[in-house]
Structure 1
């Protein structure tokens, strides 16, 4: 039998009081932008806020269209906008907030596979981890130190 390959995944469950000032600001901005998501087909709204190395916070949300499911996720919308407008600034932290349009509670979601690979691309581009935060219905936040915690065997050149 061949060798066993393992990758340990660690997520931190944080209370809001454990977040620093910028992380709380990210959370609040993601909560604001989730309300503006264009999700007329699924009614599942996602908002994301991104902290750049210069302290700027950018926001975006998911964008659906009638040719469902070819809409664009909040995370990819946000990272694409950041790279198109601030290509030299490293993204440091991303906060993700989700909820069904008519639900008062938030839903815990992690980035989809395509978004995970996109986050990986920006970690590779800048040679730096991006911390990923995900709001839970209880108001706590799940934190991944980097994309490897959500995408342990990502699509990279595994020989490098």
Structure 2
């Protein structure tokens, strides 16, 4: 039986200051997005900022609900807003960050599997990868060119929708 291995590549920056100006701006927009987080249960605020080809920035923040499965992550809030309000404007990049008053976050917070699957769908829809910045305020930043590395076996049934 043949064995196969997977390799992922990404850029890691030790701080925000090492990023280029557009990436710094997008990370700052993700911080702004956290202001609308509804997270009374976890107090773990997440913000996402999506930059579109037109230059427009679309925001998302996590929205919790006392019935936990009814909430939605910041990434999906932002991406679904893009899909419903700007369906023909391609996504260039997005930044995601998080903050809590209960402990210090020292590593970038990455997206959950459901959010990664949605990102893969949008990459498929626009036929090109999305640059994603996982931004740790006062800490390192991970930059990915496309989500395929994080979800190599994404569900992608090509016969659906035909």
**TM-score under structure 1 normalisation?**
0.90
Q: Which moved more, 1:142-151 or 1:6-15?
A: 6-15
Contact 2:65/2:71 (CA < 8 Å) preserved in 1? yes
Contact 2:16-2:138 at 8 Å conserved across structures: no
Deviation at 1:114, TM superposition (A): 0.3
Alignment of 1:12 onto 2:11: yes
Alpha-carbon distance in structure 1 between the residues aligned to 2:106 and 2:32: 13
Long gaps (5+) in structure 2: none
2:21 matched to which residue of 1?
Answer: 21
Task: State the SS of the aligned residue for 1:114.
Answer: helix
**C-alpha deviation, 1:158, in angstroms:** 8.0
Q: How many residues align?
A: 158
Q: Could you tell me whether the CA contact under 8 Å between 2:107 and 2:139 is conserved in 1?
A: no
| Runs of at least 5 residues in structure 1 that lack an aligned partner in the other structure | none
Q: Specify the SS of the correspondent of 2:50.
A: strand
Report the alpha carbon displacement of residue 53 of structure 1 after superposing the two structures with TM. 0.6
- Quote the Cα distance in structure 2 between the aligned partners of 1:36 and 1:42: 15
Query: 1:74 is matched with which residue?
Result: 74
Deviates more, 1:70-79 or 1:92-101: 92-101
Distance 1:38 1:96 in 2: 16
Q: 1:98 to 1:107 in 2, by over 3 A?
A: farther
Query: Corresponding residue for 1:99?
Result: 99
Is the contact between residue 97 and residue 106 of structure 1 (CA under 8 Å) also seen in structure 2? no
Q: Mean alpha-carbon deviation: is it higher for 21-30 or for 43-52?
A: 21-30
Alignment of 1:116-155 (within 5 A): 116-136=116-136, 138-155=138-155
* Displacement of 1:105: 4.7
Tell me which moved more, 9-18 or 100-109.
Answer: 100-109
Moved more, 115-124 or 36-45: 36-45
Q: TM-score, normalised by structure 2?
A: 0.89
Asked whether the equivalents of residues 46 and 62 of structure 1 are also in contact (C-alpha less than 8 Å), the reply is yes
Please tell me whether the aligned partners of residues 106 and 135 of structure 1 are also in contact (alpha carbons under 8 angstroms). Answer: no
Match of 1:149, SS state, is coil
